[in-house]
Structure 1
Amino acid sequence: MSTATMPADSATASNKDVRVHHRACNLCEAICGLEIRVAGGEILSIRPDDADPLSLGHICPKAVALKDLYEDGDRLRKPLRRTESGWQEMAWDDAFDLVADRLCSIVEQHGGDAVANYLGNPTVHNYGGLTHGPRFLGTIKTKNRFSATSVDQLPHQLLAYWMYGHQLLVPIADIDRTDYLLVLGANPMASNGSLMTVPAFPKRLKALQARGGRMVVLDPRRSETAEVADEHLFIRPGTDAAFLAGLLKVIDNDNLGHPGKLAAMEDGLEVALADIGALDLDKLAAHCGIKVETIQRIAREFAAAPRAAAYGRMGVSTQQHGTLCQWLIQLLNIVTGNLDREGGAMFTRPAVDLVDNPTSRPGSFGRWKSRVRGLPEFGGELPVAALAEEVLTPGEGQVRALITVAGNPVLSTPNGTQLDRALDSLAFMVAVDFYLNETTRHADVILPPTCTLEHDHYDLIFHSFAVRNTARYSEALFERPADARHDWEIFEALGDRIAKRLGAKRAPHPRPDQVIDMGLRIGPYGGMKKHPLNLSLAALKAAPHGVDLGALEPCLPERLANPGKFILCAPPEMIAALAVFASELDDDKPGAALSLIGRRHVRSNNSWMHNSQRLVKGPVRNHLLMHPDDLAAHGLADGAMVRVASRVGAVDVIVEASDTMLPGVVSLPHGWGHDRSGTRIGIAEAHAGVSPNDLTDELRLDAVSGNAALNGVPVTVIAA
């Protein structure tokens, strides 16, 4: 993939007409450097930027499809209003006035909590959404705030907040220097990392193995990452906590721990290890399906490695013990002395530091709870699994209006069918999105922002999770069309109108580029910190390939944000969660149902980009994967249409025999299901697929955080 290149589509442009543009791709977390050749308004080619210090000349097919996104005839360019006769275009000011009037009317009649909002994943990929989105949403004082966080990385952020004092202090595996990488529930060969921005993962893995290192992967599926690992262990979905607790028990019992300098910062490690040590290793092994001898060997290998890092991602976060898993991963890195050590799990020092910053938001937990089910708030948001019930359940505080920003929760959140029904019952909905999709089709007004090549960009979030400290500013490739608006301009226009109507004061706010410039200046490499680089926006503009700020460096205890600069190793909530988990081990009886897990593909990006022919061409990749033994046991044939059913619904899909699956486990890819009526995205029927979130259950949650448990869902599979 490092050589992925889009060939020139036009041979008529002369060399003097061609300009070369360098930027970062902001479609996924890898933020790979691109070199784009353009003539006039036409993209001639997209290839890797070999001089990018982070991506090292790597891109994936998604970056090449940026041309498709820019030219897509289905992408909305003007505001749309839903009428009885269909969708109608409208002027921007008229759209802003209509939205502000309807939202304010609902607030005045029912209170601020009657208006909910949902932020989708692309919000963090567009810096205008980060700098101006919260300011706009804050004009409506509502507790019903939701985002993709609670179907994704909430356990990571909650543990970072509890243990290290800030929700963005998430340790990153120092892959470029580690000798032993333990990977649970992650597939960086397809994702290029997630909460670990690691472009060129294949190249970095080869370097790890060339220096004698090992990568061990645990996954219920032999994923693309497991295929290239030194060792792959099949594990039962939702049981990673048992494997991790077994590792810690062995390390502690055999005196293999060596926390080193971390010992002076630990608060409660002995308490945590004592409770873990009380667990029975045989029961832990039986629960996760991995032999005691294997757990013992991996524990000894990890503890003995000169430099080791444990990394767990979606597969361990989106399960019923997601927060417990993330806690155990942190403890594993701590007890072996691999936290804040070169080659271990380290913290970034990004150029715009969102931790050491006057506007920093460390996090919060449980300040309020959802009205219907009592699910806890984190960082000002409620778990999105509660959204549908907050719309459908009458009473004071019922959600009657919704604002969505770059999100498609009908396909992305549990029990999408229920949410689909809930959205249809709203009094008003507005979507900031440039596609008419499975969610935005319910909107009364759609406000489409400019696309990624029409605005500038700086990666605020993913530089904070990168395996190397770098900084890069991307200027717009094309000028914004005259009758178009950037996302932050949409937020400002709506915010001003709503504040005026509600009688609230609203001070002027700098543009996103001005916010970044100030962030760079006050950041660790800026002039206000007396750093010799004197980093600023002007300096980044003068460095089109980006600036290399060096490898990750040890930074504890000074970077800890907890009072007293301690690592809180035994949060009370985790000790309680461990006790609940221990009680479940005594009642561990395999059920008759199959377990459903998700999967992703490098040519897909959550619930969008499936109308790019460049990405979906080739064999259909959204079938149900099922082990041949399970097919035989259920009397099913490879390639047959089957019905997959759970407590909440059923879908019909083609099944594919695959020995990459652990027997008893089936897999559907996330983000598909483009078969609902009323959408305009031009997806061929063969690529519509089905949504696994029509099967995932809004009642199956991580009990600690409220994060959706999308993996390990009990299902049945029969002939359709």
Structure 2
Amino acid sequence: MTKELLRYFRQKQKDHASETLFDTQCPFCSVQCAMQLIEERVVGRNRYKVVPKDNPTSNGRLCIKGLHAHQHALHTERLQFPLLKRNGRFVRVSWEEALSFIQVNFKNIQKEFGNDAIGVYGGGSLTNEEAYLLGKFARVALKTKYIDYNGRYCMSAAAAAMNATFGLDRGLTNKLSEIPHARCIILAGTNIAECQPTIMPYFHQAKKNGTFFIVIDPRETATCGLADLHIKIKPGTDAAFVNGMLKVIFAEGYVDEQFVKERTEGYDELKKHIEQIQLDEMAEMTGIAPEVIQFAARQYATAPTGMIFTARGVEQQTNGYMTVRNFLNLALVTGKIGKIGCGYGAITGQGNGQGGREHGQKADQLPGYRSIENPEHRKYIASVWGVPEEELPRKGVSAYEMMQKIDEGEIKGLFVMGSNPVVSSPNARFVKRALKKLQCLVVVDLFLSETAELADLVLPTSSYLEDEGTMTNLEGRVTWRPASRKRPGEVKHDWEILCEIARVLGKGDYFRFSSAEEIFHELRVASRGGLADYYGITYERLRNERVYWPCPSPDHPGTARLFEQSFAHPDGKARLAVVDNEYQKEQTTEQYPIYVTTGRVLSHYLSGTQTRRSPALASRQIEAFMEIHPNTAKKYKIENNALVKLETKRGAAVVRSKYSYKIREDTVFVPFHWSGKQNINQITDDALDPHCKMPGFKICAARISSIVDLEKN
């Protein structure tokens, strides 16, 4: 080919190429990294490239999930039309038919069984606007008390503990940028390197500054690379370990007496409790030597500044609430809160796990983090919504308890938006059986998820590239997510779907919104004066900055660091708590001798509904696995890379073994992103924390066996 012809064809390619830019945010974790999707059309086909955009949280970083998020949004399996199940098969129907189906079925159920016979199940990835509207939809359009969301399985232990201790729950009490100023950092049950990798540079900078890191985890995760001291703790004994640290702090005079006296309540009771504790007993419970507990306590207590971070590893336990309260005790008695480089952080999991629980998706909450049982709170929200206060429902039950209500026949219909409880719930086989009992199940999703497959009606919703709205990240920063890509087929936004259903149910006057921004205006008013006050935040501000809540007025800068002068209880003081040394409800036995714990891997997210449809992410981790110590594997005759059956009292799962010297010999680890036989939540414990109703995901007693050996028998 001559140079002239080559130039000609290159020019023709250039003439036919077009480029479209889409500014957005990553739809996955709670960091909410900003990015831009470049869609280039070249000679009849599209090519895509993702580039990070600068932002004050992750400073222009993206992880592999963000770089490939568009692949699920553009996937050929995206739902584009309403699907109604007829004779056991889904058929395409119009939106009019779909809405009519909901109208007839929901009204008939409520007419026969009462308003509370319909339940609503939300998700922690909905925008603030849609989370707010879902709560309003449940209480105004359906008038049901039964609403909760999958964030119950994520943040409930830490949220309840922070509310009880501080009077306020926000993921981080400080800015992420303060992490390098902490001279000692405790990371308990959190694998930031794989779950929120774009904030790891803050911790790396702290390491360079000489920060001492204490990492508490039964596994040696990627995050343990930071550790100066790795506490490979026996699963479920984190609260006892902290009691051991407190014993040392009290005995050796490391308590900040002035801070405790001026800013806390309950010190005398806690001191009396700690005096009765024996360090040797804590060592025996936790599997950690007394001198190691002493060393950890001294490092944290004597550091001039310090921060504590927890996540699902310590929170997804049947005593997760009290465990977090003990970590908060640790921060309070040493005075390490409300100052630069001193604070607590619950590393939020889902993209909008923070905002999703602030404005009404939880069973007991109204917008602005108000209580649905508080008369003044009810009166205020009723006035905003224009309904009589007495018509607002009372408190419902938690997410898993809703599944139990379905099984018992109290809930006859369920509306699911942005969640996949068949994969994400504990004792998942029970959940699946319960959902099959429903008279009417309506699911709103991007894909025909494992839950949607059980539905009577599935409604197609928009992706992060198409759905504008606000999110609240792990710091408590409210962010605006632009979205300008055209929706495929007949897809609607979540908020549009809610408004249209409300209309056919005769409640359209309460849902007259034409944009996400209009909904946010009402959310601002609804949150005004509440603990999570967004009133001073507007779209105009958010297009130029990310604003921390509480932000009570448009001229308020937002509150980056909490509790500098006082806590959020009426008397301004934090509450210390006595935390007993209790074993988990589920313990290993001769029949079930191994602890199973669960968690994430870098390339996947939650139930995998989205990431398993991204070829670039799915290829990195194509199946689940069981991380097992070689000595344990030898004991149970488990070969490396062999198929293994895990069994508990609730069911069984099949995964592939993976040898690792980085895990305790009494524990195995399995990620939870897969469905079918690989769904580890088929065996996880459905016992609930009595305070926050968090299931005991992280600790269940199991037996393991080789599939090959089973086949031989």
Q: TM-score range by the shorter chain?
A: 0.7 to 0.9
Tell me which of 55, 58, 61 is aligned to 1:55: 58
| Map of 2:89 onto structure 1 | 86
Q: Give the secondary structure class of the aligned counterpart of 2:658.
A: strand
1:43–1:157 distance in 2 versus 1, CA, 3 Å: farther
Q: Which amino acid aligns with 1:268?
A: G
Q: Deviations over 1:166-206 (max 9, x none)?
A: 344763574242121101111011111xxxxxx63231122
| Map of 1:224 onto structure 2 | 222
| Alpha-carbon distance, 1:505 to partner | 7.1
Q: Give the secondary structure class of the aligned counterpart of 1:656.
A: strand
State whether structure 2 residue 93 is matched by structure 1 residue 105.
Answer: no
| Map of 2:480 onto structure 1 | 473
Tell me which of 181, 186, 190 is aligned to 2:190: 186
Q: Give the secondary structure class of the aligned counterpart of 1:146.
A: strand
TM-score with structure 2 setting the length = 0.83
Q: Deviations over 1:685-706 (max 9, x none)?
A: xxxx6111100122x2223322
Q: Deviations over 1:1-48 (max 9, x none)?
A: xxxxxxxxxx95679943444332232211012132234695631021
Q: Give the secondary structure class of the aligned counterpart of 1:652.
A: strand
| Alpha-carbon distance, 1:143 to partner | 3.2
Q: Is the 8 A contact 2:425 2:681 kept in 1?
A: yes
For 1:392 and 1:356, the matched residues in 2 are separated by 28
Q: What is the aligned length?
A: 645
| Alpha-carbon distance, 1:619 to partner | 5.2
| Map of 2:167 onto structure 1 | 165
Q: Give the secondary structure class of the aligned counterpart of 1:659.
A: coil
| Map of 1:305 onto structure 2 | 303
Q: Is the 8 A contact 1:165 1:362 kept in 2?
A: no
State whether structure 2 residue 576 is matched by structure 1 residue 569.
Answer: yes
Q: Give the secondary structure class of the aligned counterpart of 1:94.
A: helix
For 2:606 and 2:358, the matched residues in 1 are separated by 28
Q: Which amino acid aligns with 2:188?
A: L
1:654–1:708 distance in 2 versus 1, CA, 3 Å: same
State whether structure 2 residue 680 is matched by structure 1 residue 707.
Answer: no
| Map of 1:683 onto structure 2 | none
Q: Give the secondary structure class of the aligned counterpart of 1:563.
A: coil
Tell me which of 414, 417, 430 is aligned to 2:429: 417
Q: Which amino acid aligns with 2:107?
A: C
| Map of 1:649 onto structure 2 | 651
| Map of 1:285 onto structure 2 | 283
Taking only aligned residues, the RMSD between alpha carbons, in angstroms, comes to: 3.4
Q: Which amino acid aligns with 1:696?
A: T
| Alpha-carbon distance, 1:513 to partner | 1.3
Q: Is the 8 A contact 2:587 2:700 kept in 1?
A: no
| Map of 2:369 onto structure 1 | 361
| Map of 2:71 onto structure 1 | 68
Q: Which amino acid aligns with 1:596?
A: V
Q: Which amino acid aligns with 1:361?
A: Y
State whether structure 2 residue 129 is matched by structure 1 residue 128.
Answer: yes
TM-score with structure 1 setting the length = 0.82
Q: Deviations over 1:515-536 (max 9, x none)?
A: 4457779999xxxx9x9xx964
State whether structure 2 residue 408 is matched by structure 1 residue 393.
Answer: yes
| Alpha-carbon distance, 1:89 to partner | 1.1
Q: Give the secondary structure class of the aligned counterpart of 1:598.
A: strand
Q: Give the secondary structure class of the aligned counterpart of 2:39.
A: strand
1:636–1:540 distance in 2 versus 1, CA, 3 Å: closer
Q: Is the 8 A contact 1:161 1:169 kept in 2?
A: no
Q: Which amino acid aligns with 1:47?
A: V
Gaps of 5+ in 1: 1-10, 193-198, 368-377, 676-688
1:262–1:641 distance in 2 versus 1, CA, 3 Å: same
For 2:374 and 2:636, the matched residues in 1 are separated by 45
| Map of 2:554 onto structure 1 | none
| Map of 1:4 onto structure 2 | none
| Alpha-carbon distance, 1:588 to partner | 9.5
For 2:313 and 2:394, the matched residues in 1 are separated by 22
For 1:14 and 1:521, the matched residues in 2 are separated by 51
For 2:408 and 2:171, the matched residues in 1 are separated by 37
Tell me which of 417, 433, 437 is aligned to 2:445: 433
Q: Give the secondary structure class of the aligned counterpart of 1:293.
A: helix
Q: Is the 8 A contact 1:287 1:588 kept in 2?
A: no
1:160–1:392 distance in 2 versus 1, CA, 3 Å: same
Percent identical residues: 21
Q: Is the 8 A contact 1:323 1:705 kept in 2?
A: yes
Q: Is the 8 A contact 1:387 1:419 kept in 2?
A: no
| Alpha-carbon distance, 1:153 to partner | 1.5
Q: Deviations over 1:403-443 (max 9, x none)?
A: 11111111111111111111112111101112111111111
For 1:329 and 1:15, the matched residues in 2 are separated by 60
| Map of 2:213 onto structure 1 | 215
| Map of 2:681 onto structure 1 | 693
For 1:353 and 1:621, the matched residues in 2 are separated by 30
| Map of 2:501 onto structure 1 | 494
Q: Deviations over 1:281-317 (max 9, x none)?
A: 1111111111110001100100111111111110111
Q: Give the secondary structure class of the aligned counterpart of 2:270.
A: helix
For 2:565 and 2:358, the matched residues in 1 are separated by 14
| Map of 1:371 onto structure 2 | none
| Map of 1:8 onto structure 2 | none
1:470–1:103 distance in 2 versus 1, CA, 3 Å: closer
| Map of 2:510 onto structure 1 | 506
For 1:225 and 1:103, the matched residues in 2 are separated by 48
1:521–1:97 distance in 2 versus 1, CA, 3 Å: closer
Q: Deviations over 1:579-616 (max 9, x none)?
A: 4x35x59x999866100001211210111221211101
For 1:301 and 1:515, the matched residues in 2 are separated by 48
| Map of 2:181 onto structure 1 | 177
Q: Give the secondary structure class of the aligned counterpart of 1:121.
A: coil
Q: Deviations over 1:440-477 (max 9, x none)?
A: 11111111111110121221x32xx31xx755423213
Tell me which of 609, 614, 622 is aligned to 1:612: 614
| Map of 2:80 onto structure 1 | 77
| Map of 2:706 onto structure 1 | 719
Q: Give the secondary structure class of the aligned counterpart of 1:514.
A: helix
For 2:96 and 2:632, the matched residues in 1 are separated by 58
Tell me which of 245, 248, 254 is aligned to 1:247: 245
For 2:509 and 2:521, the matched residues in 1 are separated by 26
1:247–1:554 distance in 2 versus 1, CA, 3 Å: same
Q: Is the 8 A contact 1:115 1:399 kept in 2?
A: yes
| Alpha-carbon distance, 1:239 to partner | 0.8
Q: Which amino acid aligns with 1:159?
A: A
| Map of 1:6 onto structure 2 | none
Q: Is the 8 A contact 1:48 1:58 kept in 2?
A: yes
State whether structure 2 residue 561 is matched by structure 1 residue 553.
Answer: yes
| Alpha-carbon distance, 1:353 to partner | 13
State whether structure 2 residue 673 is matched by structure 1 residue 671.
Answer: yes
For 1:160 and 1:37, the matched residues in 2 are separated by 41
1:346–1:513 distance in 2 versus 1, CA, 3 Å: farther
Q: Is the 8 A contact 2:441 2:457 kept in 1?
A: yes
| Map of 1:680 onto structure 2 | none
1:671–1:352 distance in 2 versus 1, CA, 3 Å: closer
Gaps of 5+ in 2: 1-11, 347-351, 361-365, 376-392, 549-556, 708-713
| Map of 2:552 onto structure 1 | none
| Alpha-carbon distance, 1:366 to partner | 12
Q: Which amino acid aligns with 2:159?
A: Q
Q: Give the secondary structure class of the aligned counterpart of 1:484.
A: coil
| Map of 1:46 onto structure 2 | 50
